[in-house]
Amino acid sequence: MSVQETKMISEVAQIHTEVSQGVSVTRKIARALLLCLVGAGVATAGLYKSRVEVPALGTERIYTSLDEVGEKVAKAKTKLLELVGTQAKEHAEGAHHETHKILVTSPMQKPVTVTQPYVCQIHSQRHINLRAMDNGYLEEILVKEGQLVKKGDPMFRIIAILYQAKLDAELAEAELAQLEYTYTKKLVEQKMVSQNEILLLGAKLAKAQAKANLAKAELSFTNVTAPFDGIVDRLHEQLGSLIKEGDILTTLSDNSLMWVYFNVPERDYLEYMDDLEKHKEEKIELMLANGKKFEQEGKIGAIEAKFNNETGNIPFRADFPNPDRLLRHGQTGTILIHRVVEDAVVIPQRATFENLAKRYVYVVDEDDVVHQREIIVEHALEDIYVVKPGILDPSEKIVLEGMREIHDGEEVKYDYHSPEEVLENPKNKAE
């Protein structure tokens, strides 16, 4: 290979190395042009005169070598132009990136409504077992499972032959005592017997009447009636069953008002008690198992007397009207307590980022330098965070978009968007 050819190939390799190492575009272009001129000069020298064979000089071999060098120069030129174009494009993109501005906004202070959910158990305000008070056979069942009954409606009738016989005997004794008393009273009026005699018979009559009333009351226990309005649960005994005193016949639930119990942590309890009158006005809703809200709103009805030492919670009770009897004893759901936080400091969720389980924002100082700052989120709403007071000030600026392009302590250029404008079209996706 000729010295000129070797020099040109070496030049190509040097240019390729410089391109890979990031030499400036201007210098690469100059070298590429120089190489093309050198190649063109060599090719021109080889073709300057018409080809005349000079055997002594080996001109044919020289021409062939020059042709090969010309082809290599053309290929090198094409490669250089491609590399120069690529580097120029990357340089332009880098220059655009350097001038790209980030977006910043400010925290906003305003009243917000926050919602605290609690898992709950739903109970009827009255839920009792109806039991038999006498022994006997279940003669009649007057209700069906799931039926709504009114107070005083008959539900069960039990045959109690012994109690009926006892009542008949006591009524007879009471009638006999009444006859004796009436007859003796006439004798006293005729002064045929002493006054003490009528007093004794009067006491005997009162005793007989009391026994008769007792027997009547015992017999009435065989007829089981509804003690209040409610819904009949499962029937535990069937018609004709032998019933013993104390056996459960069914369960009756008063579902007109539901008691919903939920456990509240000590911190929330103390906050509730700190301003009791204000919290009594909080809106309380019930989320059912199907994800729908119960149409009636509730209110706090009671707070139990002691904390659970194992969980650190105290049970609350919310009362919900149930006019359509939709809620039943034993259901589950989620209590939603809505309360208004005055002068809350809010920021968009997308203005934050997370690192090692902590959440941060970038704050832009007066010199347009960004600084990373940890924040504490008190409440997470749909698209915004409510930040603990004292961490961010509404007069400060925080980075809204472009956090991946900046570093702590770096000076930045930015476009400012007002918090009102940002919160009108929030995005809940944080980086």
Q: Concatenate the DSSP letters of all residues of 23-54 into one string.
A: --HHHHHHHHHHHHHHHHHHHHHHTSS-----
Domain that holds residue 356: 102-111+343-424
Nearest to 173, CA basis, from 217, 207, 214: 207
Verify that 277 and 308 share a domain, yes or no.
yes
Is 265 within the bounds of a domain? yes
- Quote the DSSP letter at residue 371: E
Verify that 349 and 299 share a domain, yes or no.
no
Give dist(CA 423, CA 420) in Å, integer: 5
Is 326 within the bounds of a domain? yes
Phi, psi of 364 (to 5 degrees): -95, 120
Is 126 within the bounds of a domain? no
CA angle, residues 359, 360, 364, in degrees to nearest 5: 165
Nearest to 263, CA basis, from 225, 189, 314, 200: 314
Verify that 59 and 107 share a domain, yes or no.
no
Verify that 85 and 72 share a domain, yes or no.
yes
pLDDT for res 129:
95
Among candidate residues 74, 99, 124, the one where a domain is terminated: 99
Give Rg (Cα) of the chain: 50
Verify that 302 and 257 share a domain, yes or no.
yes
Give dist(CA 362, CA 105) in Å, integer: 11
Return the half-sphere exposure (C-beta side, CA atoms, 13 A cut-off) of residue 116. 17
Verify that 280 and 321 share a domain, yes or no.
yes
Split into its structural domains, the chain has a count of 4
Beta-sheet pairing, 353-355 with 148-149: unpaired
H or E stretch including 260?
Answer: strand 248-265
Verify that 11 and 85 share a domain, yes or no.
yes
Nearest to 152, CA basis, from 228, 38, 48: 228
Phi, psi of 375 (to 5 degrees): -125, 160
Verify that 333 and 348 share a domain, yes or no.
no
Among candidate residues 318, 341, 364, the one where a domain is terminated: 341
- Quote the DSSP letter at residue 428: -
Is 53 within the bounds of a domain? yes
Verify that 203 and 287 share a domain, yes or no.
no
pLDDT for res 109:
93
Give dist(CA 112, CA 90) in Å, integer: 47
Is 129 within the bounds of a domain? no
Kindly give, in sequence order, each residue whose CB lies less than 8 Å from that of residue 141, ignoring residues fewer than 6 positions away.
155, 156, 235, 238, 239
Among candidate residues 306, 322, 341, the one where a domain is terminated: 341
Verify that 315 and 367 share a domain, yes or no.
no
Q: 420: domain CATH number?
A: 2.40.420.20
104 in helix, strand or coil?
strand
pLDDT for res 77:
58
- Print pLDDT tens along the chain (431 aa): 555 545 555 655 565 455 445 444 445 554 554 455 445 444 444 443 444 444 544 555 555 655 665 666 566 656 655 655 665 555 555 544 444 579 999 999 999 988 899 999 999 999 999 998 878 889 899 999 999 999 999 999 888 667 777 778 888 888 888 988 888 888 878 878 788 888 888 888 898 889 888 877 777 777 889 999 999 999 999 998 888 888 999 999 999 999 999 999 998 899 888 877 777 778 899 999 999 999 999 999 999 999 999 999 999 999 999 999 999 999 999 999 998 888 899 999 999 999 988 999 999 999 999 999 999 999 888 889 999 999 999 999 999 998 888 999 999 999 999 999 998 876 544 44
Verify that 336 and 386 share a domain, yes or no.
no
Is 106 within the bounds of a domain? yes
Is 66 within the bounds of a domain? yes
Tokens 């017999």 sit at which residue?
219
pLDDT for res 181:
85
Verify that 107 and 94 share a domain, yes or no.
no
**Residue 156, exposed/middle/buried by CB under 10 A (0-12, 13-18, 19+)?**
buried
Is 228 within the bounds of a domain? no
The model's pLDDT over 104-138, given as tens digits with 9 standing for 90+, comes to 999 999 999 888 999 999 999 999 999 988 788 89
